[in-house]
Amino acid sequence: MSSSDLAADESETPEPHEPTFEKPGPADLVGGGIAIVLGAVVIIASQSFPRQPNVPSPGLAPSIVGGIMALCGLGVILTWARDRKRGREVEELIPSPLSIRDQVINVLAVLAVVATYILLGDIVGFPILMTVLLALLMIRLGAKWWVALIGAVATSVVIYLIFNDVLGVPLPTGWTPFLG
Amino acid sequence: MLHNLGEAFSLLATVQLVVVVLLSAVYGMFIGAIPGLTATLATALLVPIALFLDPIPAVASIISMSAMAIFAGDIPSALVRMPGTPASAAYTDDAYLLTQNGQGARVLGVGLVGSAIGGIAGAIVLIFAAPALSRVAMQFTSFEYFWVAVLGLTAAVIISRGSQLKGAISLMLGLLVSMIGLDQTSGAPRFTFGNGDLLGGISFIPAMIGLFGLSEVIRNVINPARRVKAPRMKTKGMLGDTFRTLRKYWKGMVSGNAIGAGIGALPGAGGDVAAWVAYAATKNASPNGKLFGRGKGHIEPIVSAGAANNAAVASAYVPTLVFGIPGDTITAILMGVLLIQDIEPGPGLFAENAPTLYAMYMLFIIANLLMIPLGFLAIKASGNLLRVPAAVLMPIIVAFCIVGAYSINNARFEIIIVLVFGVIGYFMERHGYPVAPAVLGIVLGPIIERNFMSSVIKTNWDFSQFFTRPISAILLSLTILVLLYPMLAKLFRRKPRDPAPADDET
């Protein structure tokens, strides 16, 4: 057997990713715990739903579902405990090129946009508020200021045309009532 | 039948429909072609708009969009090795390697025509299987419907990748969310905390927009997909090349269609599963199997897997329309839309609404045929499609999430739901809890509970009927089989070579 035969043999079934085995962190313990607690809370809360005669309790189905959820949560914790001993195959995740600080700020920015619109949408109105929020978010995510401006205005205009004019959804006009 | 066909045609031959189909296809093309945006996200964002349309155009938009998006996912696969949608993941390596060797146009041409044929094959399965199955479904009562729903959900959880326990938890979460509001059987308020908005329950649409849409954005801003330069492609002679290739590998085409149509019809299993299975099957059966996925790549798996995922998307409508059990996530969303439009899937649809059904069949065929010219245009323009920067795209998606949610009820409550479920969805996926079962739970929860309750009421708590009715018993056995499938699979999967023990002879 020459070495080239061996080489050909090895290339038959390559392992594209060598599975890495790791001890899992506490995430599953927490997740499973949440499932158990949530299931239990649902079962308890379901006992106090108002009952009607001759009809099954409205708490029946939620209790069953809550029970299954708690059991599965238990299963997750047991699996986690077992994997703490023997390791678990971990998928390699591509790490983010952003720093943790940037990641967090990005997420908060996205959530802030939605929350701000919820709170101020009716007051400031869609045209101005959405344009401003979009532009700020685009800049935060790395767009050049003039790209962000054009993008934000274009998006707001297109959405306004589609939803307000074509579909008839009354988007709040707020500070720009002349656009209504 | 001719009368129904005629009526169906008149339903379709409107300008509105043509415009809707075209726009949806273009929309699907954009979303499919951009890596990181999935067909499910596209559907989630499309739904609020589709609700304003009549049922036929609404269904048309989803059919047209999804057919196009599933093909368009092949484009970034081939150009930059990033699948545009999970359905293209199975053959990304082959597509990319071939493109690197100058065969890009051939790859995409084959993918396109293969997909169109696959979609039509799936539609043919739908046209013949659905009416036949609906005759079986006519014998269904609340017991059978309950078990079919349970079977479908169980299959969806077991088939979903990752831990099945976590999938089950996700499903339970969705079911619980569907129980918020007024109980349909007794009218009692559940989990409403005295809040007037919650009394109306949590609509699946904003929940879905949050779970699929906003959470995807959050994921993307945390780990943005790198902007890559796409190579230019030579598209001369693409058509002839495509047909020659398809003719050469017709066996792969046939098997891909069969596998796709079969798997798509299973509840919960969609285009991505079908593509993987077709890929593996072709690799095993082909003399060129060893060449797949490495070196220069090979075109054969693209023929079969590309057809398979489109066939699956079409045949997923079989269980959806016949039983009301979604065949995949897209049909789950579609079902929700149908229910809101007061079109109840099931035998009633086949008996009373035949023209609507025929219209849907024709829509499938039209959408897949339309895909060919649009797809060729997309291939030519593909270099430019990938240049949209995420910094601009993500906020645009956020805007559509906000306005889409608002447009359901002209209220802020739905936007709040999007926000909450967006965060929940992000954390779920991050820790391995698939989001799709939760959406299935929200959509199917009311149906399951209603059938369960009416069964129990009918027989006055006689649970034995759940097990003794013949069809119910069959469905129950199938459910148990599906539940045990992972364990059975492990038992039967013997490794061909056991690793040699350390103390073996040298």
pLDDT digits (tens, 9 = 90+) for A91-150: 667 778 888 888 999 999 999 999 999 999 989 999 999 999 999 999 999 889 999 999
Q: Do A113 and B398 touch (CB under 8 A)?
A: yes
Q: Of B94, B157, B79, B482, whose CA–CA distance to B329 is shortest?
A: B157
B189, β-bridge pairs: B182
Classify strands A88-90 and A20-22 as parallel, antiparallel or unpaired: antiparallel
Nearest to B169 among A72, A107, A113 (CB): A72
User: So what's the pLDDT on residue B398?
Assistant: 94
Amino acid at B44: A
In the three-class reduction of DSSP (H, G, I as helix; E, B as strand; rest coil), residue B90 is classed as helix
What are the CA-CA distances from residue A118 to residues A82, A109, A175 (Å)? 45, 14, 16
Classify B194 as helix, strand or coil: coil
ipTM of the complex: 0.85
- Give the whole-angstrom CA distance, residue B66 versus residue B53: 17
Q: Tell me the residues of chain B between 414 and 433 that have a Cβ less than 8 Å away from chain A.
A: 415-416, 418-419, 422-423, 431-433
Encoding tokens for residue B4? 């129904």
Please give the pLDDT value at position B367: 86
Chain A nearest-CA residue for B225? A96
Distance, CA of B319 to CA of B330 (rounded, Å): 13
A159-180 residue pLDDT tens: 999 888 888 888 888 888 776 5
**Residue A8 pLDDT > 50:** no
CB atoms within 10 A of CB B411: 14
Check residue B13 and give its pLDDT.
Answer: 74
B436–A contact, CB cutoff 8 A: no
- Compute chain A's Rg from CA coordinates: 27
Residue A103: which of B222, B401, B432 has the nearest Cβ?
B222
The answer to whether the Cβ–Cβ distance between A170 and B410 falls below 8 Å is yes
Rounded to a whole number of angstroms, the CA Rg of chain B reads: 23
Helix (H, G, I), strand (E, B) or coil at B418: helix
Contact between residue B52 and residue B236 where contact means Cβ atoms under 8 Å apart: no
Supply the pTM of this predicted model: 0.82
Helical H segments across A24-144, by residue range = 27-46, 60-86, 100-124, 126-141
Q: Which residue has the higher pLDDT, A58 or B173?
A: B173
Let me know: does B403 contact B135? Beta carbons within 8 Å. no
Give the mean pLDDT of chain A: 83
Cα separation, B87 vs A33, whole angstroms: 34
pLDDT of residue A139: 93
The residue type of B408 is I
Determine the Cα angle at B43 with ends B322 and A116, to 5°.
135
Minimum CA–CA partner of A118 in chain B:
B412
What pLDDT score does B506 carry? Answer: 41
Distance in angstroms (rounded) separating the CA atoms of residues B202 and B198: 7
Distance of CA B431 to the CA centre of its chain: 22
pLDDT of residue A1: 39
- Chain B residue with Cα closest to A139: B391
For chain B, how long is the longest CA-to-CA vector?
78
Interface of B with A in 39-58 (CB under 8 A): 49, 52
Amino acid letter, B196: G
In this complex, is the C-beta atom of B72 within 8 Å of any C-beta atom belonging to chain A?
Answer: no
Q: What is the pLDDT of residue B227?
A: 63
Q: How do beta strands B181-182 and A88-90 pair?
A: unpaired
d(CA B263, CA B406): 36
Per residue of chain B (506 residues), give pLDDT as tens: 667 777 777 777 778 888 898 899 989 888 888 777 778 888 889 999 888 888 888 888 998 898 888 888 888 888 877 777 878 888 888 888 888 887 888 888 888 888 888 888 888 888 888 888 878 777 788 888 888 888 878 877 877 666 888 989 999 999 999 999 888 888 888 888 878 888 888 888 899 899 988 998 998 888 887 666 666 666 666 777 788 888 888 888 888 888 888 888 877 777 888 888 888 888 877 877 777 777 777 888 888 888 888 888 888 888 888 888 887 888 888 888 888 877 778 777 777 777 778 888 888 888 888 888 888 888 877 767 667 788 898 999 999 999 999 988 888 999 999 999 999 999 998 888 988 889 888 988 888 888 888 888 887 777 777 777 777 788 888 788 777 777 666 666 544 444 444 443 44
In chain B, what residues touch A170 (CB-CB under 8 Å)? 410
Residue A131 pLDDT: 94
Which residue from B169, B175, B223 is facing A94, i.e. has the nearest CB?
B223
Concatenated DSSP letters of A69-97 = HHHHHHHHHHHHHHHHHH-EEEPPPPPPS
Q: What is the pLDDT of residue B339?
A: 82
Tell me which of B163, B173, B387, B402 to substitute to probe the interface with A (most A C-beta atoms closer than 10 Å).
B402
Interior angle at CA A160, CA A154 and CA A162, nearest 5: 100
In this predicted structure, what is the pLDDT of residue B236? 66
Q: How confident is the model at residue A18 (pLDDT cuts 50, 70, 90)?
A: low
